[in-house]
Amino acid sequence: MSAVDATAADPTATGGEARRLTEWVFRVRELGIVGAFVLLMVFTAVMEPRFVNADSLRNLALNAAIFAILAAGQTLVIITRNVDLSVGSVLGLAAFMAGDLLSAHPGLAIPAVIVLGMALGAACGALNGVLVTFGQVPALVVTLGTLYAFRGVAFLWTDGRQVNAETLPDAFLNLGTGSILGVPTLAVIALVVVVVVGQALRDFRVGRELYAIGSNPEGARLAGVRSGRRVFWAFVASGALAGLAGVLFTARFGTVDATAGSGYELTVISATVVGGVAIFGGTGSVYGAALGALLLNTITSSLIVLKVDAFWQQAAIGALLLLAIAFDRLVGLRLDAALRRRSALRAG
Amino acid sequence: MIPFGSRARRHLLTTTIAAVAALAVAACGSTKNDSSSSSGSSQSSSTGASANAEAPIKKGLKVVSIPKQLGNPYEEFEHSGVQEAMKELGGSDRIQGSTDAGASSQVPIINSIVQQKPAAIVIAGNDPNAVAPALKQAAQRGIKVVAMDSDVAPDARSVFVNQVTTKLVGQNQVESIAKQIGNKGQIAILSATANATNQNAWIKVMKDTLKDPKYKDIKLVKVAYGDDDDQKSFQQMQGLIQAYPNLKGVISPTTVGVAAAARYLSKSPEKGKVKLTGLGFPNQMRKFVDDGTVDEFQLWVPKDVGYLAGQAAAALASGRITGKPGETFTAGRLGKYTIGPNSEIVLGPLTTFNKENIGKFDF
Amino acid sequence: MPAEAESVTTPAADDAAAAGRSADTTPDADAPRSREGLRAIAGRWETLLVALFIVLLPIGQAISPEFLTSDSFTTGSLDFSEIALMALPLTLVVVAAEIDLSVASVLGLSSALMATLWNGGLPLELIMPLCIVAGGLCGAFNGLLVTRLGLPSLAVTIGTLALFRGLAFVVIGDDSVTDFPAVWTDRAFGNFAGTAVPNVIVLFAVLAVLFAVLLHFTPFGRSVFAIGANEEAAFYSGLRVKRIKLTLFVLSGAVAALAGVVISLRNSTAAANVGVGFELTVVTAVLLGGVSIFGGRGTIGGVILALLLLGGIQKALLLSESISSYWIQIVTGTLLVSSVLGPNLVRRVSDARRRHSTQPTQEVSP
């Protein structure tokens, strides 16, 4: 069903027309988002010039940063034709753990806290991964269940407490609100994460295997790809990134309670799909997903600034998601047809 | 492919077993069910019995308190006051709530609590009407209902314990911001959830107060909702500043909202230029008072609200009061209180916190 | 193959899904085999649910002496009534290998519409059918996107989840309506003719029978199973797949709107934020009821049992004086996963055993 079906016979092949064509589609899709983003910025700026001043841009980048990191992890999972609904709950757990730890031990090194947060997230992701691969339970069911379960654990752990910005060390809070050379630290971190994950997906064999698993599981298996292992690690990565996002969440907001991250999963999935990662699996890139996160957050901010009734925001995001998947489907069908024509020509 | 007869018959069998089991539970269980189809009569004076101010407080009274939402530190602190009161009076209090502040989330909890037959329920309502039928059920079973902080429908509770009068909250908050912006300029309100009874009541008073000629140069441009969610309040504050470049002041009558707004302001170029006041916890706001983001803010002591509600609940359950306006009772360490109109008991006036006095408080 | 995001499945599981091969604890007996009779009944998913329910009863009673009372049934079932209503059409949707995550948002939109139309002065008797029609239209929207545009229902209904909820807020904003006439609100939370059974549950029972008949005793229902088991085969055998799927989505939307009317009357509150998050519980009930997420398997009876089980667990935990309410979430999540994991593991064990005994050459290892 996906556009890369025709290449699935040898999923790790390099070169060839099919690959170039699909690369081209990736590019176009990503450019499309950038285009939409620019359009939106320009439109809003014209109506309300303050929208593009330095402070406002800084805030846009900050708001999107955490979602961009979550979207990067979600991309890895969705590409393999799975989904991870538990990211919001994992973020909440990691956020509270980070805040709790630092409040009790302000002397803890910040990198240590980050590593611990990611480890917690990775453990959650591993649970998801085991259930999906070894237990053969569909990802939708597993992560729906862990969404509930992890959130419940978060509530038990917090037991009505709340982490306050007051009790967190300033150095940590600066991570969330400070800047490096004028660019918000969080945005820099998000950028680094997106680039690292994006390039890994693009340049390494592991990445190509993930695409193969998503676009043609049977073919991938026959070609010797160790699907179970790859999918497991995709979930671990998604969890680890959600853990990172959680720690950064605490750094940014300072005040964390059991409900941190509630409802994030749907926004993240929407961002990822809008960013060109097909829910079917097999296509899309981390860059697109990050751009999708940026676009969605900008829409929210832009609607507020344009004094559009806040109530239209949710409807707008829903409509955007529907447009994105409809568009992708059309593109996918065209691409499919084009690839088939080419291989028919070559064969005939 | 799908054989029909035997499988369908098996379906029928298991489904029938299930249905019969459920109905058996329903039918054979002790039928203490008064018909719940009537909407229940008003609680306050239906007991008929008059108050006996000398009646002793019954020992071992069990009270259940229902916050708006679990995991909310303000609620936790407030309800700890109920526990303090009950402990003092030789009874006990248990907190039971839901994890979200939805309008009807408290209903299943009330229903279950009613089955446990406590002496009284103390509730901070998420929505005045959604919980009313369930509370009236409770009243019919002889359980006393005390609303606290966020009221419910008046005929669904015996008394309502209010921290300050609604009027004073609205007025004091407007006065606070007006003073800080020199009685002139645009202001906005950053509220909590759109349904919350207390928020809406205060906002209404604020709007009425602003009609006073003294405030004719102050314009309320927007009421934004942060849903008592930290990030949402943060973003709403951000949006307000951007959408209204001439904004001079913000009132945020919610502890989550004012803390998030202060945090945003303290790192933005508008710090000191846009004034912020609201209802905040001293411990959360101290930092922002110290660094100049906030000049003053206000609140009451939430634990005292809970304490008063607990005392009232015990007094009701022991027959000392029936909830009629005019009755008086002694609320432990807080002293003597008189029940006001609409069966409302008011804790006292707002406390203003600023640089001078904030060091004295720890909550 | 169903056009969904699926987990990575090995060919063995793929075959099982496609051919509808039943394992020991699946509720499908489309291969009448030697394991008829008692063993078949014992191996069925519904039996497991009944067993769990029976186990729950004394545990619940130990947690609180108030558990096994008619009050518990009355209030517990009322709490779950909207979830129960929405689970009925969703069962058919999932059997057809689709999903509808927008049901709670349709419920909210219906409630918001109720409020707006009531403020506009329309009588309730007119408002209620209008809301249900609106729900049907929402369902049609979902259905058309899935059937005409070929979009995956998971993604579509995630989008409409946001869209419909957003529209609910656009319609009524932050307002709520709380002054519905007592005659209707009393009916909505009242009991049936003096028994301990709420009116709403009677409504549910009637609908449950209708849906059970529809799914298990009519050609339409058989088509739904066929579509879920193998959509292409169903299509080539002449079934009007698109029309049937569209009907299912319309039903899902209409019943969700009905649930919206019911909950608004029951709580005397119609607003846009009613029912947020319900969809997860509804899906949990359906999956726990033994309906396969891959389609082609499932029973209304199983879903009813699952609803009883979930409702009972929630009631027991609510009645507990010491167990925190947070456990409800953990238990629900674990149950959900176990409901699929359990049969998988059992099947793998029995497959392994069979392999060892017969030594075939072509069983694929997991």
Query: Tell me, what CATH number does A74's domain have?
Result: 1.10.3470
Of B230, B238, B287, nearest to A253 by CB-CB distance is B230
Name, in order, each residue with C-beta under 8 angstroms of A80's C-beta and a sequence gap of 6 or more. Answer: A210, A213, A214, A230, A231, A234, A281, C8
Tell me, what's the pLDDT at B47? 47
Over pLDDT 70: what percentage of chain B?
87
Nearest to C341 among A131, A148, A156 (CB): A131
- Inform me whether the C-beta atom of residue C49 falls under 8 Å from chain A C-beta atoms: no
Note the pLDDT of residue B11: 57
State the nearest Cα–Cα gap between B351 and chain C, in angstroms: 30
Strand partners for B94: B64
Overall number of domains in chain A: 1
Would you say the C-alpha torsion A327, A212, A234, C342 has a positive or negative sign? Answer: positive
Q: How far is CA A215 from CA A51, A226, C282, C293, in A?
A: 41, 15, 30, 20
Comparing A277-281, A317-321, C27-31, C110-114, the range with the smallest average pLDDT is C27-31
Across chain A, mean pLDDT equals 85
Residues of B in contact with A155 (CB under 8 A): 70-71, 99
Look at residue B46 and tell me whether its pLDDT is greater than 50: no
CB B67 within 8 A of CB B337: no
Q: With beta carbons less than 8 A apart as the criterion, state whether A210 and A202 touch.
A: no
- What is the predicted pLDDT for the residue at A263? 80
Q: Give A-chain residues touching B269 at CB under 8 angstroms.
A: 55
Alpha carbon distance A335, A330 (integer Å): 9
Residue the block writes with tokens 């994890």:
B99
Provide the residue range defining the domain that includes A222. Answer: 2-347
> For residues B225 and B194, is the Cβ–Cβ distance under 8 A?
yes
The pLDDT of B63-73, averaged and rounded, is 86
pLDDT of residue C247: 96
- With 60 as the cut, is the pLDDT of residue A269 above it? yes
Which residues, at least 6 apart from C209, have a Cβ–Cβ distance to it below 8 Å?
A: none
Please name the residue ranges forming H helices in A223-285. 227-253, 264-274
- Average confidence (pLDDT) over C57-61: 87
Provide the ipTM.
Answer: 0.81
Identify whether the C-beta of residue B224 lies closer than 8 Å to the C-beta of residue B239.
yes
The percent of chain C in helix, strand and coil, each rounded to the nearest 5, is 70, 0, 30
Give the residue, A262 or B5, on which the prediction is more confident. Answer: A262
C residues 25-64 lying closer than 8 A (beta carbon) to B: 29-30, 32, 36, 40-41, 44, 46-47, 49-50, 53-54, 57, 64
- Contact (CB<8Å) C66/B116: yes
> Which residues from chain C sit within 8 angstroms of residue B10, using beta carbons?
29, 40-41, 44
Across the interface, of B26, B127, B129, the residue whose CB is closest to C196 is B26
B220 phi, psi to nearest 5 deg: -85, 115
Res. A115: pLDDT tops 90: yes
Residue C329 sits at the chain A interface (C-beta within 8 Å)? yes
Residue C239 CB partners (closer than 8 Å, separation 6+): C223, C226, C227
The number of angstroms, rounded, from the C-alpha of B200 to the middle of its chain's C-alpha atoms is 12
- Chain C contact probe: residue of A124, A133, A141 with most C CBs at under 10 A: A141
**Inter-chain CB proximity B239 and A305 less than 8 Å:** yes
Structure tokens at C269: 């509150």
pLDDT for residue C303:
95
A46-59 pLDDT tens trace: 888 877 777 778 87
C307-366, pLDDT tens digit by residue?
999 999 888 888 887 777 778 888 888 888 888 888 788 778 888 888 887 655 544 444
User: What type of residue sits at position C25?
Assistant: T
Highest mean pLDDT among A117-126, B157-166, C168-177: A117-126
Highest mean pLDDT among A213-222, B276-285, C112-121, C246-255: C246-255
Out of A132, A273, A280, name the one closest to residue C7 (CB). A132
Q: Do C325 and B70 touch (CB under 8 A)?
A: yes
pTM of the prediction? 0.79
**Mean pLDDT computed over A311-339:** 81
pLDDT of residue C176: 79
- Flag whether pLDDT at A120 surpasses 80: yes
Mean pLDDT across the stretch C1-22? 36
Residue from A253, A297, A306 whose CB has the most chain B CBs within 10 Å, to mutate: A253
**Given CB atoms, is C79 within the 8 Å cutoff of chain B?**
yes
How far is residue A154's CA from residue A140's CA, in Å, rounded to a whole number?
Answer: 21
Is pLDDT above 90 for B63? Answer: yes
pLDDT of residue B37: 35
Q: Which of B71, B231, B283 sits opposite A158 (nearest CB)?
A: B71
**Contact B162/B346 with Cβ under 8 angstroms?**
yes
User: Domains of chain B, with CATH numbers?
Assistant: 62-163+302-347 (3.40.50.2300), 166-299 (3.40.50.2300)
pLDDT of residue A159: 78
Residue C237 three-state SS:
coil
pLDDT at residue number C148: 92
Report the candidate in B242, B238, B263, B251 with the shortest Cα–Cα distance to residue B178: B251
**pLDDT 10s digits, C146-186:** 999 989 898 899 889 989 999 998 898 777 788 888 888 88
Q: Chain A residue closest to C333 (CA)?
A: A145
Domain residue spans of chain C: 67-308
CA A103 – CA A314 distance, rounded (Å): 35
Give the residue, A160 or B55, on which the prediction is more confident.
B55
Ordered strands of the B120-123 beta sheet: B92-95, B62-66, B120-123, B144-148, B159-162, B344-346
Answer whether residue B3 shows pLDDT above 70: no
Q: What is the pLDDT of residue A310?
A: 66
Taking CA atoms, what residue in C is nearest to B196? C174
In chain A, whose CA is at the least distance from the CA of B267?
Answer: A177
Q: Inter-chain contact C8–A141, Cβ cutoff 8 Å?
A: no
Average of pLDDT values for B194-209?
A: 89
CA C228 to CA C17: how far, in whole Å?
A: 10
What percent of chain A is predicted at pLDDT more than 90?
Answer: 34
Cα–Cα distances in Å, from C141 out to A267, B84, B133, C95? 21, 55, 36, 20
A179-188 pLDDT, tens digit each: 888 788 999 9
Higher per-residue confidence, A137 vs C40: A137
Minimal CA separation from A193 to chain C, in Å: 26
Pairing of strands B120-123, B144-148: parallel
Instruction: Give mean pLDDT, residues A22-44.
Output: 79
DSSP state of B279: B
Residue C48: its pLDDT value, please?
83
* Minimum distance, in Å, between the CA of residue C201 and any CA atom of chain A: 27
Q: Is the per-residue pLDDT at B280 higher than 80? A: yes
What per-residue confidence (pLDDT) applies to B231?
74
Contacts of C62 (CB under 8 A, 6+ apart): none
pLDDT digits (tens, 9 = 90+) for C42-53: 567 888 888 888
Lowest mean pLDDT among C32-41, C106-115, C122-131: C32-41
Write out pLDDT tens, residues C213-247. Answer: 999 999 999 999 999 999 999 999 988 999 999 99
Q: Is B63 left (phi over 0), alpha (psi -120 to 50) or beta?
A: beta
> How high is the pLDDT of residue C359?
59
**What is the pLDDT at residue B36?**
38
Would you call B70 and A155 a contact, using CB atoms and an 8 Å cutoff?
yes
User: What is the rounded distance in angstroms from the CA atom of residue B152 to the CA atom of residue B128?
Assistant: 4
**Neighboring chain A residues of C366 at a CB cutoff of 8 Å:** 134, 136
- How far is A234 from A223, CA to CA, in rounded Å? 19
From chain B, the residues in CB contact with A186 under 8 A are: none
pLDDT tens-digit readout, A189-206: 999 999 999 999 988 988
Residue type, C285: A
Query: What rounded mean pLDDT belongs to chain C?
Result: 83
Say yes or no: B76 contacts chain C, CB-CB below 8 A: no
Candidates A5, A277, A322: best to mutate against C (most CBs of C within 10 A) is A322
Q: Does the distance separating the beta carbons of C191 and B104 come in below 8 Å?
A: no
Average predicted confidence (pLDDT) for chain B: 83
Distance between CA B228 and CA B259 in Å, rounded? 10
Report the 10 Å Cβ neighbour count for A156: 14
